[in-house]
Amino acid sequence: MTIEQLKERGLIILECVSGSKAYGLDTPQSDTDIKGVFVLPKDEFFGLDYVPQISNETNDIVYYELGRFVELLAVNNPNILELLNTPKEAILKRDPLLDLINPKLFLSKLCENTFGKFALSQIKKARGLNKKILNPMDKERKSVLDFCYVNNGQGSLALKKVLELRGWKQKHCGLVNVPHMKDVFALFHEPEAGFNGIIKSENANEVSLSSIPKSIEPVGYLYFNQNGYSTYCKEYKEYWSWVEKRNETRYEGTKSHGKNYDAKNMMHTFRLLQMAIEIGKSGEINVQRPNREFLLDIKSGKFEYDDLMSMAQELQNEMKEAYEHSFLQSSPDKSKINQLLVELRTNYYK
């Protein structure tokens, strides 16, 4: 089923503008995100064709089936609690059926964990971007040879330097294991011996061993930093995957404010922590934020990274204290939620 079919068949019971425009944090460059709820016809709900949610390719538009919507409310999912409590001015369509839902039924101390975890994930994203911006990786991928070293007096030299100084080619070298010495190999060199080389190809992920007569003496010993190579490969893959998928507008914005962190992620960190505190203290979800100017200042990079980290820690401490003294239920009553869902479907299918 597609979004167009949902609309053609009149299955949507809630449709709202979400994201920055619902939070009151939009700017002229902001996209319009849409979230909503639909109800499957009875035969499709009871049959094999249950569809929990439908979205477009970019996930800017997402609709949740009623059962999935209530299921996510029951675990205090931040996005779904925000959808249920969308400000009137951001609601495009709302079926009176939804009047049966009392938001208080769902709000619980789980919000400390769900909103808090979501906030911490935004911090991690901002930190991750900070690391990627400050430590860009060359497009040309390093090989195993870049992580090999050869003994030299009381120290060592990079293998590539040894090859350069001695005028050797890696394909004329041979390696054999040294017993009881992990990642250390006896190094041999003989252009006419037909050794397998140190690596078979530039894309190799390990060194190559050769069969070498015991009568031949090694020219040195080679150490392959296998852990370092594995870490590099992982970081290389993550970095260039990020480059390929990153939002260029946000990235250019990050470079322009010069603070070297994803300011949008950081803004949402503070929004989520502040919302969590409000829920713990008042039992209310305020989707539209009252401190627009402060949050947009974060988004525009007006604060230093370390200062934001300190402020975020203070909010986390305040959030913890708020939930220690909160009057909220520990977790939602699933039996009551189940009764509500049955009532919602019964009324809809009538």
Is 186 within the bounds of a domain? yes
Q: Do residues 183 and 172 both lie within one domain? A: yes
Split into its structural domains, the chain has a count of: 3
CA distances from 89 to 15, 100, 194, 227 (A): 12, 21, 77, 55
- Which structural domain, as residue segments, surrounds residue 203? 144-228
List pLDDT tens digits, range 212-264.
998 899 999 999 999 999 999 998 988 778 677 665 555 555 455 555 577 88
User: Is residue 236 included in any domain, yes or no?
Assistant: no
Whether 60 and 192 share a structural domain: no
- The secondary structure of 277-337 as a DSSP string is HHHHHHS----S-S-HHHHHHHHTT-S-HHHHHHHHHHHHHHHHHHHHS--SBSS--HHHH
Q: Tens of pLDDT along 7-55?
A: 999 999 999 999 999 999 998 888 899 999 999 999 999 988 899 999 9
Both 217 and 185 in one domain: the answer is: yes
Q: Is residue 71 part of a domain?
A: yes
Which tens digits make up the pLDDT trace of 192-211?
989 999 999 989 999 999 99
Q: Is 59 in the same domain as 156?
A: no
**Do 118 and 252 fall into the same domain?**
yes
**Radius of gyration of the chain from Cα atoms?**
29
Question: Span 141-162, mean pLDDT?
Answer: 96
Q: Is residue 339 part of a domain?
A: yes
User: Tokens 């479907």 belong to which residue?
Assistant: 345
CATH of the domain at 52: 3.30.460
Residue 241 domain-assigned?
no
- Are residues 101 and 155 both part of a single domain? no
Residue after which a domain boundary falls, among 168, 200, 228: 228
Residue 171 lies in a domain: yes
Nearest Cα residue to 110 out of 81, 68, 70, 76: 76
Q: Are residues 150 and 130 in the same domain?
A: no
Q: Which of 193, 228, 263 is the last residue of a domain?
A: 228
- The dihedral built from the CA positions of residue 250, 251, 253 and 254, taken in this order, carries a sign that is positive
Contacts of 340 (CB under 8 A, 6+ apart): 70, 100, 101, 105
Do 177 and 45 sit in the same domain of this protein? no
Task: Say yes or no: 78 and 59 in one domain.
Answer: yes
Which pLDDT value is given to residue 133?
Answer: 57
- Give the pLDDT confidence score for residue 246 in this predicted structure: 60
Residues 166-191: what's their mean pLDDT?
Answer: 96
Name residue 255's amino acid.
K
Q: What is the pLDDT of residue 115?
A: 93
What is the C-alpha to C-alpha distance for residues 252 and 239, in angstroms, rounded to an integer? 16
pLDDT tens for residues 256-265? 555 557 788 8
Does 175 reside within a domain? yes
Residues 281 and 295 in one domain: yes
**12 and 93 housed in the same domain:** yes
Examine residue 19 and state whether it is found in any structural domain, yes or no: yes
pTM check: above 0.75: no
Q: Are residues 281 and 209 in the same domain?
A: no
Which residue, of 228, 260, 289, is where some domain finishes?
A: 228
